[in-house]
């Protein structure tokens, strides 16, 4: 399973993710690969008026794919009425994904990126916004310098599907990065250090 979890937002580029996946070879280690594009059920998201249009555009594009590709690409709308239920489903999908993708055109701090890193999943992501501060290329994941380069995205996905050793190394490093930098204890230590510096300066 190749997985992207995100809001239905054109900046998350779900159509580009589909087109990149369509360029993978569908042979060898990728022979049984399926792509899941996962987002919230748009009927339960009142504060995102563009989501419906993005879902419609994504579904229309999916219908235009070849049957061979269409059979391997799945659009999933998760219910949002129960936050725990939603989080449980996202957790299950991320935990079982072979490759996690976040091919955003723009992005702040990628929460779904950090969630996948915590679960030691190998990641293909765009070198944009906060993602490039979360992931060092070829250390905690594979970064795409140009998120619109579909061939590069397809190659990165294929590489992680084919190279178990690389995937395991990236996933393990990603989890260590989250433990070291993105959990509450690290922030508490930083606050303590800042308070200590302020007290020393005042004295």
Taking only the tens place, the pLDDT of each residue in 142-153 is: 999 999 999 999
b/e burial code for range 41-60 (CB count within 10 A of at least 16 → b):
bbeebeeeeebeebbeebee
Residues 6+ positions from 143 with CB-CB distance below 8 Å: 125, 126, 127, 131, 132, 135, 137
Query: Does this model's pTM top 0.85?
Result: yes
pLDDT at 183 over 90: no
Q: Which fold has domain 2-202?
A: Rossmann fold (3.40.50)
Strands of the sheet with 35-40, listed across from one edge:
73-78, 35-40, 2-5, 99-102, 123-126, 142-144
Q: Compute the mean pLDDT over every residue in the chain, rounded to the nearest whole number.
A: 94
* H-helix or E-strand spanning residue 76: strand 73-78
Report the C-alpha gap between 49 and 32 in whole angstroms. Answer: 36
* Between 43 and 17, residue with greater pLDDT: 17
Average pLDDT over residues 51-60: 95
- pLDDT-derived band at 46 (thresholds 50, 70, 90) equals low
Count the helix, strand and coil residues of the chain and give each as a percent rounded to the nearest 5: 55, 15, 30
pLDDT in tens, 92-129: 999 999 999 999 999 999 899 999 999 999 999 999 99
Residue with tokens 């748009």: 42
């Amino acid at each position: 399973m190749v997985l992207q979890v995100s809001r239905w937002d054109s900046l998350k580029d779900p159509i580009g993710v589909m087109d990149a996946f369509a360029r993978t070879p569908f042979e060898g280690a990728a022979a049984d690969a399926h792509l899941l594009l996962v987002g919230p059920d748009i009927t339960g998201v009142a504060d995102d008026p563009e989501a419906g249009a993005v879902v419609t555009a994504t579904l229309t594009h999916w219908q235009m794919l070849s049957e061979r590709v269409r059979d391997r690409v799945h659009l999933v709308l998760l219910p949002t009425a129960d936050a725990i239920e939603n989080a449980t489903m996202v957790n299950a999908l991320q935990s079982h994904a072979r490759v996690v993708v976040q091919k955003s055109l723009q992005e702040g701090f990628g929460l779904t990126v950090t969630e996948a890193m915590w679960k030691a999943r190998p990641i293909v992501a765009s070198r944009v916004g906060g993602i490039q501060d979360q992931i060092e290329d070829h250390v905690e994941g594979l970064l795409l310098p140009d998120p619109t380069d579909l061939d590069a995205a397809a190659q990165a996905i294929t590489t992680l599907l084919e190279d178990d050793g690389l995937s395991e190394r990236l996933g393990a490093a990603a989890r260590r990065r989250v433990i070291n930098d993105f959990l509450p204890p690290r922030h508490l230590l930083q606050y303590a250090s800042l308070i200590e510096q302020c007290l020393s300066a005042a004295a």
